[in-house]
Amino acid sequence: MDSPRIICVLSNPRSGSTALRSALCTGGALRDFGEIFHHDPSQTAFPFLEFLRRWPDPVGAMLDYEGCIALARAYLDQLSFEAQGVTPVIDIKHNAWGVLRPLWQFPHDRPRFLAALRARRAVFIFLRRANLADQVISYHIANHTNIWHAEISMDDIPAQIRGRNMDPGQASEICSLFEQAERLVARFCDNYPQIIRLTYETVFEGGVLAADAAEALSQVLGTTITPVDLPFRPNRADKRQVVANYDQICDIAEKIRRSPNGTL
């Protein structure tokens, strides 16, 4: 029996990938395996790092080109087995590809794990946010509250950051990291037909998967994705109240998005 096709969500942090995975897996035809490279085992149903610990000579495999390929293929084989005939959905952040990288690979070369996914004809869902400033501020808030997968209200915002300026240098650095990583992973997926490109701002409407997004996903994935209420809601914290120099952060983000190299 053929292994089920793997669906891989690609995004930067604070892109809405958790809510999207929840929407995809509501009907039971798909199974959410979470962020497979996450260091916290609770964030994934089949942690790559746990699999790595059982691999013969894991350090050698992580450093060797052929070893990385064999490790990536073996993990995906086991992931398909763990899915028990249901299509697995995995989440890989743009900054997580370095978990499995040969010692002598160029940093801008296509990761071996991504190459293994392409070889298996995985479906990539490339999720991004149109509003880079809001994404970076959301990242700033999550870092200070340590709330990453639940709704955040103004009551959750620590006093030391509420109503204060966000460091423009820090904002510029995070914007550049997000933008450059997004562009690089997009290049890794060049000329690959099995990819869906979605924008956070148009995927969800009032906490529900938008009908247009559900239809587009259903056509590509070959299974009906039905819009339903999601357990993950947009944060209720007003970013203008949290960050006093909100307009300055927006200006920084816009300039970086327009920049040819993703920096100021």
pLDDT of residue 3: 62
Q: Calculate mean pLDDT across residues 69-86.
A: 95
How far is it, in rounded angstroms, from Cα 50 to Cα 82?
A: 14
Q: Which residues pair with 164 in a beta bridge?
A: 243
Q: Calculate mean pLDDT across residues 205-227.
A: 86
Q: Calculate mean pLDDT across residues 39-57.
A: 94
Domain ranges of the chain: 7-258
- Looking at every residue in the chain, the average pLDDT score rounds to 92
pLDDT exceeds cutoff 50 at 1: no
- The C-alpha torsion from 185 through 14 and 149 to 79, rounded to 10°, is -10
pLDDT exceeds cutoff 90 at 209: no
Question: What is the CATH architecture of 7-258?
Answer: 3-Layer(aba) Sandwich (3.40)
As given in the structure block, the two tokens for residue 204 are: 């969800």
How far is it, in rounded angstroms, from Cα 263 to Cα 73?
A: 35
Number of H helices, E strands in the chain: 11, 7
As given in the structure block, the two tokens for residue 196 are: 């869906």
Q: Calculate mean pLDDT across residues 205-226.
A: 86
pLDDT of residue 232: 62
pLDDT of residue 2: 57
Q: Work out whether the CA dihedral 225, 46, 138, 98 comes out positive or negative.
A: negative
Model pTM score: 0.94
Q: Calculate mean pLDDT across residues 44-53.
A: 95
As given in the structure block, the two tokens for residue 14 are: 């604070």
- Judged by average pLDDT, the poorest of 36-50, 108-122, 166-180, 231-245 is 231-245
Query: For residues 100 and 68, is the Cβ–Cβ distance under 8 A?
Result: yes
pLDDT exceeds cutoff 70 at 233: no
As given in the structure block, the two tokens for residue 140 are: 């700033």
pLDDT of residue 231: 66
